[in-house]
Amino acid sequence: MPGLRRGFKTWCENAARGYRRDLGADPLGPLDPRMLAENLGVAVWTPQQVPGLSPRDLRQLTVTAADEWSAATLRDGDHYLVILNDAHDLGRQNNTLAHELGHVVLRHEPAKMFITSDGLMMMSEYNDDLEQEANCFAGTILVPREALLRLISSGASNREAAQHFKVSEALVRMRRNTTGVDIQTARRRRGTWTP
């Protein structure tokens, strides 16, 4: 598996800190990616808000095929619109939206896209490197390393951390694996142990 560009993880931590500061968000608390979307001028809709969608199509998107898609992002010049599948639980929606915003912030160009009859670009299929970068951005803005380290050091479980950050437990596990916070916590414990 190709790795991330050198320094990219650090860039994400710094960007996450900067965006959280701009948004007035607690550096150690959860971050609602809808606030970030608003700050970036990215509109976020549910399928119900899409004008002209027939009841049959809406049913297809929100019930029949609800498991098969997470989001669709459209671009018109500098304007972005993310249609977010709100049939998914909040943790998954937060990760999906933060991931799509990662593509926007990082100005990723999709490998494939479609042009709708209205001339909108439908963003689709980014290459693996860009997907990894968007995942890294999403994980970091939702669960910054320092905030995770504090929580893990205080003995929180993955489930508690997931509830705290309003993300899935899978994302917490991914962040524990990629940030090295467990090693740092173990070192701290050893360092502070006195007989």
- Interface positions with Zn ion (CB under 5 A): 126, 131, 134
User: Which residue number, 101 or 181, has a Cβ lying nearer to Zn ion?
Assistant: 101
User: Which residue number, 91 or 102, has a Cβ lying nearer to Zn ion?
Assistant: 102
User: Which residue number, 91 or 161, has a Cβ lying nearer to Zn ion?
Assistant: 91
Closest residue to Zn ion in the complex (CB): 134
CB of 126 vs Zn ion, minimal distance in Å: 5
CB of 72 vs Zn ion, minimal distance in Å: 11
Q: Is 26 left (phi over 0), alpha (psi -120 to 50) or beta?
A: beta
CB of 107 vs Zn ion, minimal distance in Å: 13
Closest CA to 115 of 167, 74, 87, 169: 74
CA–CA distance, 30 with 132 (Å, rounded to integer):
22
Q: CB-based burial of residue 68 (10 Å sphere; 0-12 exposed, 13-18 middle, 19+ buried)?
A: exposed
Closest CA to 105 of 30, 41, 31: 41
Which residue type is seen at 166? K
Which residue type is seen at 98? A
User: Which residue number, 131 or 146, has a Cβ lying nearer to Zn ion?
Assistant: 131
CA–CA distance, 20 with 29 (Å, rounded to integer):
10
CB of 131 vs Zn ion, minimal distance in Å: 5
